[in-house]
Amino acid sequence: MQYRERLKDYKRIVIKIGSTSLAHANGSINLRRMDKLAWVISDLRNRGIDVLLVSSGAIAVGADKLGLAERPRDIIGKQASSAVGQAILMQMYERSFGEYNQKLAQILLTKGAFESAYKKRNARNTVDRLFELKVIPIVNENDTVATDELDEFSDNDTLSAYVADLIDSDLLIILSDIDGLYTSDPNKNADAKIIDTVTEINENIYKIAGGSSSSLGTGGMATKVQAAALLNSRGIDMVIAAGDKPEIIFDILDGKKVGTMFVASK
């Protein structure tokens, strides 16, 4: 079976983009890439596809604005940078999406929002209404509130999986600084081959999933595999692809073999 063929028919998707895909190496936002992402998502929206964007970058943007040498490692530093950066990040998205006459909404969540049926229902109803109003929701973790392991997601890969499940998405696309899952670490092994399709997430898949090598990002390949495992039993497919060219999303939804597809149990 050509699993990727079914991607052509999907009408509700979640796209997650990480800090390393949104920013230059020095931590400043890559405006050209943000504009390209806005163009792609706007075109999908014009095609009648519901798109929710999970966007990292608030802490990195805030740290850059504050003139910090690197992303803060302590909780208070992260909270302060996020508080500064979140407003700036949304302003940037408003500018980019405004070129295509799109309406945006900001949604900040903590893990606790997914642990209460009442809160989950409210969040789901809000997203559904935003889609009815042809609004593109942009989701991030509420870093200024999430201070411990009960409230906090370890990374936005996990958050995006929770959100995809919450809104009954057909597909989660994770745009990363690596273009898929490889048979071994491509930074260390020149013979590493990209894995086109994963139909079963087993111990071998977990074993070959690597960590994060970026100072900007928090999630490595292991967290992405965990996100795929969470979605697997929910019937939601996931694709990991390179985030340096957001137009790759078109290729994914055209059923082309790019990145790694994690096939859900339907």
pLDDT, tens only, 246-257:
999 999 999 999
* pLDDT for 11: 97
pLDDT band (50, 70, 90) for residue 239: very high
* pLDDT for 210: 61
CA distance 214 to 195: 22
Higher pLDDT, 202 or 129: 129
| pLDDT over threshold 50, residue 132 | yes
* pLDDT for 113: 86
How many structural domains are present in the chain? 1
* pLDDT for 84: 93
**CB-based burial label for 5 (10 Å; 0-12, 13-18, 19+):** exposed
Q: How many CA atoms lie within 13 A of 241 on its CB side?
A: 21
Give the three-class secondary structure for 70.
coil
* pLDDT for 185: 80
Look over the chain and give the mean of its residue pLDDT values, rounded to a whole number: 89
Q: pTM, whole model, 2 decimals? A: 0.91
Q: What is the CATH number of the domain that holds 41?
A: 3.40.1160.10
pLDDT band (50, 70, 90) for residue 216: very low
For the residues 86-102, what does the mean pLDDT come to?
96
For the residues 50-74, what does the mean pLDDT come to?
89
| pLDDT over threshold 60, residue 212 | no
Q: Which domain holds residue 45?
A: 3-262
Q: How many residues does the chain have?
A: 266
pLDDT band (50, 70, 90) for residue 206: confident
| pLDDT over threshold 60, residue 1 | no
| pLDDT over threshold 50, residue 214 | no
pLDDT band (50, 70, 90) for residue 13: very high
- Spatial neighbors of 178 by CB under 8 A, at least 6 apart, are 186, 221, 240, 242
CB atoms under 10 Å from CB of 212, counted, come to: 19
Which residue, 143, 187, 172, is CA-closest to 259?
A: 172
* pLDDT for 257: 94
* pLDDT for 147: 55
